Amino acid sequence: MTETSPAAEAGTGAAADHAYRLVREQILSGQRVGGEWLREGDLADHLGVSRTPVREALRRLTAEGLVRYERNRGVQVQAWNASDLDEIFSLRSVLEPWGCRLAATSGLADLTTLDALAHEMDACVAGRSPDLDRLTELNNRFHRLVLEGSGNSRLPGLIASVVQVPLVWRTFSRYPPEALARSLAHHHELVAALTAGDADWAESVMCSHVRAAWSSIREGVQATS
Amino acid sequence: MTETSPAAEAGTGAAADHAYRLVREQILSGQRVGGEWLREGDLADHLGVSRTPVREALRRLTAEGLVRYERNRGVQVQAWNASDLDEIFSLRSVLEPWGCRLAATSGLADLTTLDALAHEMDACVAGRSPDLDRLTELNNRFHRLVLEGSGNSRLPGLIASVVQVPLVWRTFSRYPPEALARSLAHHHELVAALTAGDADWAESVMCSHVRAAWSSIREGVQATS
DNA sequence: GTCTCAGAAGTTGCATACAATTAACTTCCG
DNA sequence: CGGAAGTTAATTGTATGCAACTTCTGAGAC
């Protein structure tokens, strides 16, 4: 993210951007429960801006599927369930391995940064208090970077549009330790496969990676529901 | 289309919806050239509404990737080229066969309607003056219906979001007659494969279908550029 | 002739006011 | 007591006005 480096000029503009980021963060952090109504007036007051930029933010969130919009009634936070998770991981298990395959032979993958990210993620869980938020952030960057190496400029955004599900954000907290270790190992193996330019290997590792995550999360959801 | 708008739920008010549909149609029909700036004031005057709903429509088109937005500068019609087509068909050739495979065994596919659509498309090109616009419309519905049978509710929208490229709208006009006939035959074969519940067959036919279309369009684009 | 820098024009971003629609409540009738 | 219609409150949709930003133009200096 951090597209249009935001806080550059705090003085003007970016009211809509500000509103967008705040509401998005509230939804992804679970602060806003699924089904909750988001009133334009309340958000505007709380942000100290008018309804106009708030409406813009809500429309953007609607397009991204984080909220549900009903004409003349407003927007409410999208509610997710286990079948949504299945749909998403089902899609990922097709698209990500495919993108990874392309990245293996395109020569576009930023292997240096990928390797660095893999090591940073190791460090995140090395200490006694693992920084899971940072791990999530790094993991997202890792996956996006792989997909950007596919040479298909639409692929990263396409996957990002379905991965933005609240549960996924808190994903690593549900991982059992051995699953976490396996996931981190996958990242390193992925870098190795990409470095070797072995498309089959790369595709295979990513497929394992996604399906392992799917399994871990499914169990985590079942356990808490 | 003009039925109780399916976009009504995901859409906006009446004026905003009107503006959205108009500008979208203008872009997809090629009336608005790629790179052309779309001024809020002009569109508002032309539509007889204020800038507010126009802005909303433009934001929606931005989210769909049909226009490009620059802060404090406005929006301009997205410009497409051959590599965009390659990216799109590359994605389709992965996702659509996969969705088709799922539809073959899910039992959710509306085989009756699919068969009817396939025959309607035949009728479109049977006469001396083929109705290519109607053919395009029916073809879109056919593909969407197949994907809706996959059981993955996100898949149809995901593919729709990348297929919305102007060139694709005028696609059949570039088809040589034999390619057109082959495409229509694919539809019938697809229905047969889905009816048989043969996942491999269905996936394979859809793969052929997409790649044949890719080839036809690539040649058509090369010939005209 | 070219570069720089005011100044003006045009466009977008936001705030406010009003209209339209929806939901809730009260009241009246059976 | 139950139900229905009218009315009121709350919320969204649209219009308008103003401020901020960008771009273009043109005069002046080198």
Q: What angle do CA A203, A208, A212 make, to 5 degrees?
A: 150
- C-alpha span between A139 and A121 (Å, rounded): 7
Backbone torsions φ then ψ of A188, nearest 5 degrees? -65, -40
Percent of chain B surpassing pLDDT 70? 92
pLDDT at res. B180:
94
Contacts of B158 in chain A (CB under 8 A): 91, 158, 161-162
Whether residue A5 has pLDDT greater than 80: no
Whether residue B4 has pLDDT greater than 70: no
Amino acid symbol at A72: N
> Nearest protein residue to D13's C1' (by CA)?
B13
B129 touches strand D (CB under 7 A): no
Lowest pLDDT segment from A161-165, B67-71, B88-92 = A161-165
Structure-token pair, residue B91: 């994605």
CA A39 → C1' C22, Å?
Answer: 14
Q: At B13, is the pLDDT very low, low, confident or very high (cuts 50, 70, 90)?
A: confident
Residues A144-163: tens digit of each pLDDT: 999 999 999 999 999 999 98
Lowest pLDDT segment from A25-39, A42-56, B36-50, B167-181 = B167-181
Would you say B142 and B134 are in contact if contact means Cβ atoms under 8 Å apart?
Answer: no
Interface residues on A facing B, Cβ-Cβ cutoff 8 A? 4, 13, 52, 55-56, 59-60, 62-64, 69-72, 87-88, 90-91, 94-95, 98, 152-155, 158, 161-162
- C-alpha span between B7 and B141 (Å, rounded): 15
CA distance B189 to chain A (A): 24
Residues A78-103: tens digit of each pLDDT: 999 889 999 999 999 999 999 999 99
Q: Which residue has the higher pLDDT, B79 or A8?
A: B79
Residues A168-182: tens digit of each pLDDT: 667 788 889 999 999
By DSSP bridging, strand B37-38 and strand B74-77 are antiparallel
Which string of b and e fits A15-40 if b means at least 16 CB within 10 Å?
A: bbbbbbeebbeebbeeebeeeeebeb
Q: Which of B207, B135, B140 is nearest to B173 (CA)?
A: B135
Q: At A13, is the pLDDT very low, low, confident or very high (cuts 50, 70, 90)?
A: low
Which segments of chain B does DSSP mark as H helices, in order? 7-10, 14-28, 40-47, 51-64, 82-106, 111-126, 132-148, 154-163, 166-169, 177-196, 199-224
Q: At A133, is the pLDDT very low, low, confident or very high (cuts 50, 70, 90)?
A: confident
Interface residues on B facing A, Cβ-Cβ cutoff 8 A? 8-13, 52, 55-56, 59-60, 63-64, 71-72, 87-88, 90-91, 94-95, 98, 152-155, 158, 161-162
- How much is the average pLDDT of B158-169? 81
Percent of chain B surpassing pLDDT 90? 76
- How much is the average pLDDT of B133-148? 95
- C-alpha span between B29 and A133 (Å, rounded): 46
Structure-token pair, residue B222: 């090369």
Backbone torsions φ then ψ of A31, nearest 5 degrees? -65, -30
Whether residue B183 has pLDDT greater than 70: yes
Q: At B222, is the pLDDT very low, low, confident or very high (cuts 50, 70, 90)?
A: confident
pLDDT at res. B190:
98
Residues A31-71: tens digit of each pLDDT: 999 999 999 999 999 999 999 999 999 999 999 999 999 99
Contacts of A152 in chain B (CB under 8 A): 87, 90-91
SS3 call for B70 = strand
A45 touches strand D (CB under 7 A): no
Tell me the domains of chain B and their CATH numbers: 7-77 (1.10.10.10), 82-224 (1.20.120.530)
pLDDT at res. A12:
43
Inter-chain contact B154–A87, Cβ cutoff 8 Å?
Answer: yes
